[in-house]
Amino acid sequence: MTMSQKCYALLVGINEYHPQSVGVTPLKACLNDVEAMQNLLEKQYVVPTTYIKTLLNKQATRKNIIQNFREHLTANADENTTVLFYYSGHGSRQSLPKAFQKYVAGTSREHRREETLVCYDSRARIGNRWIEKDLADKELAILIKEAAQKNAHIVIILDCCHSGSGTRSKTQTLSQEIQKREVEERAIQDALHRNYLDNYYEQMWEEKGEITLPNSPHILLAGAQKDQSSWETMMGGKRRGVFTYYLEQALLQNPHLTYAELFSLINPRVIGFTEKIYRYQNPQFETYHFFNAHSHFLTGATTSENRKLYGTKMVRSEWRIEQGEVHGLASAETNPTIEWAVYENPKDEGPVALAKTTQVGLDYNVVEVLKGSLNPDQNYLAELRSLPVQQLAIGVNLNPPPADLASPLFKLTEDKTANEQLIIDQEKDNYTITREGIKLVTGKYDSVSRVSKLERIARWHRILDSYNAQPQLFHYEDFPLTFKVVGDDMLAKTVINAQDTLELTSEEGKYFPKQEQRKEENTWAIPYKITAQNLSEYEVYFMLLHLDPFYGIEVYYNGSIPAKTNEIVLAEGYGLFPDEQLTPTIDRFKLIVSTRELHSYLFTQKDIREGFNKPTKRTGQKIPDDWLAKVLEVFTTKK
């Protein structure tokens, strides 16, 4: 596969740490992992050797990692470049300064931690002095921001532990030597005096009196969750990291996978393998600031077809597809003909099986294979083929509707009262999409692209409208969601029940002085903060979605929240901007509360405008799956 754009990679692997390191055991698979990743890049993606920089063992000092990130990745970054940072080695955690704790749920010492990469020299002690510090996740965020400012496509892959609570010993399991990639946390100052990279946060604190984290477009593929261990063992005849091995194997079989497809394939394989050796490792997959999870690995390219494929696997003797109630899928009783086509690879011309939904769960649905056969030890990808009861009605001005615009997600109708309307000229050269009479987008007619946009509209409505009418455990009043205008205590709204609204008036220059108005829209911006509470007796997961008026969806927060959490910041926005086309402009914020962790990439999507760029452990208590959702609609109008 030839890359459609340049790719610069920095690959870091550490088996042997500084001889004076304290509490760090050597690893055996990290150099093999780096070698495998380098071969994958050179042979499968034809990345020139000179574009790949490796730092192995004693080369991987803290200073060298930072310097090479800036000089090899950021210096070569531009809008036609992918930058890849890969790390294989020990991971750890350390105490979190108070200035950052508003972003963390829970008040215990265990919760107030930040993740770190253990560099070659960051645990070495000479006399009474540590010679270096770990590379903290908030420092990596600074490096990512620098590359993102040059509009690069940024990919971060970390195969290390994100927990600091486990041992570092080797154990024998099923005749295989298994080893964790983690070290215990190092005692450091519990205040903002540890000198983060370039004193970035310290200077921000002195200038503004508060800390905000960089939020740059990138994707994170990590070997384990924050409270888990990442394992290495013998795989394929070599010592390998479990996560990197399955990542490499999936991309060797199909280099054209999207990030979402890649994760759907490797996640169950890593979980399944580690469960067999009596361990548990659940990879982490997160997109940040409108990074498109449905673009292709490394290239960032998106196909005109824009097909949505969902992971399919055997769980407890039943086939499950990763679409459920929280994604807006109605029950099998309400919608008895939900049908799927199942593929081995996204590029396959035809499916290997056809299936029908028999049961809809919180975040999955159970299917019965009607035609073809599936291997229980293999993972697949499924495409929705029929959803008749839940099709969104979209008006169209042509009779009959164009046959090339068929989709299981929507149906075209002559109904002129439908909120969304598709207007096509008689020559089928141009089209316009409107909502309630307001023109949203217009352009050249192309059936494949039009279907993609209309499906995004239908999917947006399905996710917005999904709710649980009868939660078993939860009560809406236990999860207050509060929207506040920064600098104006009178403008706030707390959502107690399932839905509420807030009306705002944007006044030019009210919140941002002239020197802060870097862009025209900033003169009308309304700065905001969104917080929430978990007053229940259960540890839960919060996911905060932003559904914008042009049908884009972004995940603003996704994480576990301990029981009795008084308040946590879910989002801090530079500002809501009223759009010239839409009066008022309606931004919707949806909080999903669930007993199960949800994957962000199954919710996110780009809006329908062409070429537009937008500015912990579960408790041991056995509880049933449950969820609820509440929505705040914010109406913004110019004064």
Kindly report, residue by residue over 343-380, the tens digit of the pLDDT: 998 888 789 999 999 999 999 999 999 999 999 989 99
- φ/ψ (deg, to 5) at 538: -110, 145
pLDDT, one tens digit per residue, over 103-121 is 665 555 555 677 889 999 9
Tell me which DSSP letter residue 598 carries: -
Let me know whether 282 and 142 are in one domain: yes
Q: What is the pLDDT of residue 449?
A: 79
In a domain, residue 193? The reply is no
Last-in-domain residue among 342, 371, 386: 386
CATH code where residue 98 lies: 3.40.50.1460
> Higher model confidence: residue 41 or residue 280?
41
pLDDT, one tens digit per residue, over 543-592 is 999 999 999 999 999 999 999 998 899 988 767 878 888 888 999 999 99
Let me know whether 116 and 162 are in one domain: yes
pLDDT, one tens digit per residue, over 485-514 is 987 878 889 999 999 999 988 888 777 654
pLDDT classification of 455: cutoffs 50, 70, 90: very high
Sheet holding 91-95, edge to edge: 91-95, 113-117, 135-136
Q: What is the pLDDT of residue 252?
A: 93
| pLDDT value at 428 more than 90 | no
Question: What percent of the chain stands above pLDDT 90?
Answer: 47
Q: State the CB neighbour count (10 A cutoff) for residue 339.
A: 17
Between CA 112 and CA 180, with CA 540 as vertex, the angle to 5 degrees is: 55
In a domain, residue 300? The reply is no
Let me know whether 399 and 378 are in one domain: no
Let me know whether 501 and 550 are in one domain: yes
Between CA 359 and CA 448, with CA 456 as vertex, the angle to 5 degrees is: 110
pLDDT, one tens digit per residue, over 591-618 is 999 998 999 989 998 899 865 545 422 2
In a domain, residue 196? The reply is no
In a domain, residue 582? The reply is yes
DSSP-assigned states of every residue in 449-518: HHHHHHHHHHHHHHHHH---SS-SS--GGGS-EEEEETTEEEEEEEE-SSEEEEEEEE-TTSSS-GGG--
Classify burial at 331, counting beta carbons within 10 Å of its beta carbon; exposed 0-12, middle 13-18, buried 19 or more: middle
Let me know whether 567 and 430 are in one domain: no
Listed ranges 41-45, 194-198, 233-237; the one with the highest mean pLDDT? 41-45
Residue 211 in contact with residue 203, Cβ under 8 Å?
Answer: no
Let me know whether 364 and 409 are in one domain: no
- Give the residue among 92, 310, 110 at the shortest CA–CA distance from 183: 92
In a domain, residue 630? The reply is yes
Per the listing, tokens 């799927």 go with 340
- φ/ψ (deg, to 5) at 591: -100, 120
Let me know whether 419 and 528 are in one domain: no
| pLDDT value at 127 more than 90 | no
Let me know whether 432 and 497 are in one domain: no
Tokens of 203: 């200077």
Q: What is the pLDDT of residue 594?
A: 96
- Give the residue among 225, 281, 298 at the shortest CA–CA distance from 599: 225
Let me know whether 444 and 321 are in one domain: no
Structural domain of 560:
476-638
In a domain, residue 195? The reply is no
> Higher model confidence: residue 534 or residue 490?
534
**Domain count across the chain:** 4
Let me know whether 494 and 581 are in one domain: yes
